[in-house]
């Protein structure tokens, strides 16, 4: 009897291993289908921040010292990072500043055609 139970348990093991493999595959596919907004509350390393912004560590420290950059978060005694959502807000604010500057520059460089016409009409 004991041998019959052993065989039935052994027969179950490959199915269990197969189920585990299926669960792993499903977990990997679920990771790929995740919404990027799910990761906005993550904390990333300074190395990741430097890579994302394409800046040096020295420049990162200058930004941190400025008042508009996100404050680092202590993860452990030797590790700090930056909140992804706060970093995203910083990047969006910089993009808005750049767009506003571009608009001001474009307005200044476009000649005022109405002003020219009024000068010509005055000469006539």
pLDDT value of residue 13: 44
pLDDT value of residue 14: 46
Q: Percent of the chain, pLDDT > 70?
A: 55
Flag whether 124 is in a domain: no
Number of domains in the chain: 2
Bridge partner residues of 44 (DSSP): 82
Verify that 67 and 90 share a domain, yes or no: yes
pTM: 0.54
Flag whether 115 is in a domain: no
Verify that 49 and 64 share a domain, yes or no: yes
Verify that 13 and 63 share a domain, yes or no: no
Flag whether 118 is in a domain: no
pLDDT value of residue 92: 93
Residue 118: phi, psi to the nearest 5? -65, -35
50-96 pLDDT, tens digit per residue, is 999 999 999 999 999 987 899 999 999 999 999 999 999 999 999 99
Judge contact between 43 and 83, C-beta under 8 A. Answer: yes
Token pair for residue 88?
């995203």
Q: Which of 21-25, 40-44, 70-74 has the lowest mean pLDDT?
A: 21-25
DSSP secondary structure code for residue 121 in this structure? H
Verify that 21 and 49 share a domain, yes or no: no
Verify that 13 and 60 share a domain, yes or no: no
pLDDT value of residue 103: 86
Rounded CA-CA distance 102/68 in Å is 21
Flag whether 101 is in a domain: yes
Verify that 78 and 103 share a domain, yes or no: yes
Judge contact between 84 and 43, C-beta under 8 A. Answer: yes
Other beta carbons within 10 Å of 73: 13
């Amino acid at each position: 009897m004991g041998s019959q139970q052993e065989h039935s348990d052994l027969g179950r093991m490959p199915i269990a291993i197969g189920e585990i493999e299926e669960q792993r595959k499903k977990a990997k596919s679920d990771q790929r289908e995740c919404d990027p907004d799910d990761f906005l509350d993550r904390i990333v390393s300074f190395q990741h921040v430097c890579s994302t912004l394409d800046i040096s560590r020295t420049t990162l420290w200058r930004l941190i010292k400025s008042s508009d950059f996100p404050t680092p978060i202590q993860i452990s005694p030797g590790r700090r990072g930056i909140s992804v959502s706060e970093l995203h807000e910083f990047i969006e604010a910089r993009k808005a500043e750049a767009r506003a500057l571009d608009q001001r520059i474009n307005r200044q460089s476009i000649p005022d055609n109405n002003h020219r016409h009024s000068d010509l009409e005055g000469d006539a």
